Amino acid sequence: MAHHDQLTRLANRSLFRDRLDQSIFRADRRNETFAVLYLDLDHFKPVNDALGHDIGDELLLCVAERLSRCVRNSDTLARLGGDEFAIILENLSSSHSASSVAEKIIAAISTSFEIADHHLHISTSIGIAVYPYCGNNAETLVKNAGSAMRRAKQAGRGQYHFYTSDMNARALDELQMEIELRQALDNKEFVLHYQPQMSLVSGKVCGTEALLRWQHPQKGLIFPERFISLLENNGLIVEVGQWVIESACRQNQRWHAAGIDVGKVAVNLSGRQLMCRDFSKNVAMILKKTGLDPALLEFELTESLLIKNTSVCSDVLGALMNLGVSIAIDDFGTGYCSFNYLKRFLVNTLKIDRSFVRNVNTDAADSAITTAMIGLARDLNINVIAEGVENQRQLEYLRSRHTDEIQGYLVSPPLPAESIGNLIYLMDYRAHKYYDTMNLSEHKMQCPPAA
């Protein structure tokens, strides 16, 4: 009795507070998010005043009943008093998002109620506060959900509003995205696309770079620029990165087993992954599990990552190299050039950033720097690959400076795994014929001399 509302039998204010403390505790422990929804009925008072308290009570009972059908058993539904209700939505996900539940509730309450021969029309305004972004304790969450509810009322009733203090629309989008990202791995929404790398010596594909995409059930294909930093900030990159390595290794093994010579597969790494204890052991395990030859795996690390974590990096890089895996420096030239790593032979490949390649024919500085980087790599006996090659003039320039490999839209954009086999077959068959039949006139490329 002390914990339940007499009329509706829902949790009362004090039980709601207890549950909220438990939700915070649980969310912290499990690294989950939850939302507090604060509801106030619109136009309830006129009904109560005009038709009397018995009808008003009956209406509140019906509202409570409809609300309970919009939430899960594990959620908490409470009546805070009068015509105010509150809900804790546990463990948010794309199918159980605060906005989808709020929409369901608004629709449920705006359907008319038939009580004692009266057709009653009311609606509800909802304020939403998501833990921990909209408050890190119970009191603040309830207060912020309440002020979001008042804003929803001002905006015209029958609506829901998220609490926003300094959050702009973008931050809210990211918030929603982060909630959904937590589920994406379990829901198998991540996919890898592969971009071929072409040898300028043989004209054949000599490797692919695995690039992560998120196949969102509603929003379609989302590119990494929009979500990698979120994954890095919340630490999920470790788990997702592990999935990337394993999937890329398995795919490459599958190609090789099918006799499709795609060379090595390159996988991008984030700092957090490298910092994990046992990273190289995990890689060894994946190689064993998938049966991929270590020589067919390369990791790409950016310069800034190497510089920030110097001592850890050299240990891990050493261990990876002992496994027989190769290391590439990604976006070379854009950070602090890591000559120290080059000198200590901890690197197999340099990837010249596409910002240099873009204007290599027109900008004297870009051209001088690109030539110097290629020369440096050659003198140190390091493989050099130019990124972002989009046209034939860039290709000709790079070939004249003896770049080993190129990667870019001129050869192919990143493609789903299924398309790679065909591409390689066609390129091996006759590269120029492929480009001619595709009629990519602006991309028309002369086949580099065969080895």
Query: Where along the sequence are the contacts to Ca ion (CB under 5 A)?
Result: 268, 300, 330-331
Nearest residue (CB) to ligand C2E, 10 versus 357: 357
Nearest residue (CB) to Ca ion, 33 versus 197: 197
190 binds ligand C2E (CB under 6 A): no
CB 246 within 8 A of CB 289: yes
Q: How far is the CB of 60 from Ca ion (least distance, A)?
A: 59
- Would you give the distance in Å from CA 58 to the centre of its chain? 47
Among 40, 330, 404, 405, binds ligand C2E (CB under 6 A): 330
Q: Residue for token digits 């400076």? A: 401
Token pair listed for 111:
């359907």
Of 368-376, 407-415, 418-426, 435-443, the segment contacting ligand C2E by CB under 6 A is 407-415
Q: How far is the CB of 174 from ligand C2E (least distance, A)?
A: 16
Q: How far is the CB of 270 from ligand C2E (least distance, A)?
A: 4
390 binds ligand C2E (CB under 6 A): yes
414 binds ligand C2E (CB under 6 A): yes
Indicate the helix (H) or strand (E) that contains 327: strand 326-332
**Hey, how many other C-beta atoms are within 10 angstroms of the C-beta on 393?**
12
What's the start-to-end Cα distance of the chain, in Å? 86
Q: How far is the CB of 332 from Ca ion (least distance, A)?
A: 8
CB 328 within 8 A of CB 298: yes
249 binds ligand C2E (CB under 6 A): no
Among 195, 338, 370, 394, binds ligand C2E (CB under 6 A): 195
442 binds ligand C2E (CB under 6 A): no
440 binds ligand C2E (CB under 6 A): no
Token pair listed for 339:
């000559």
- What is the β-pairing status of strands 190-199 and 415-416? antiparallel
Sign of the CA dihedral with 125 first, then 84, 110, and 47 last:
negative
- What is the β-pairing status of strands 190-199 and 405-407? antiparallel
Nearest residue (CB) to ligand C2E, 256 versus 272: 272
Q: How far is the CB of 9 from Ca ion (least distance, A)?
A: 58
32 binds, among ligand C2E, Ca ion, none (CB under 5 to 8 A by kind): none
Whole-number Å distance between alpha carbons of 380 and 373: 11
Nearest residue (CB) to Ca ion, 8 versus 407: 407
Of 38-46, 71-79, 267-275, 281-289, the segment contacting ligand C2E by CB under 6 A is 267-275
Phi, psi of 380 (to 5 degrees): -90, 5
223 binds ligand C2E (CB under 6 A): yes
Whole-number Å distance between alpha carbons of 70 and 74: 12
Among 167, 228, 230, 369, binds ligand C2E (CB under 6 A): 228
Nearest residue (CB) to ligand C2E, 202 versus 242: 242
3-state helix, strand, coil in the chain (%, to 5): 50, 20, 30
Please count the residues of this chain forming the interface with ligand C2E, following the rule CB under 6 A: 22
Whole-number Å distance between alpha carbons of 219 and 412: 25
Q: Closest by alpha carbon to 8, among 62, 74, 71, 88?
A: 62
Catalog residues that contact ligand C2E under the rule CB under 6 A: 195, 211-212, 223-225, 228, 241, 244, 268-270, 300, 330-331, 354, 388-390, 408-409, 414
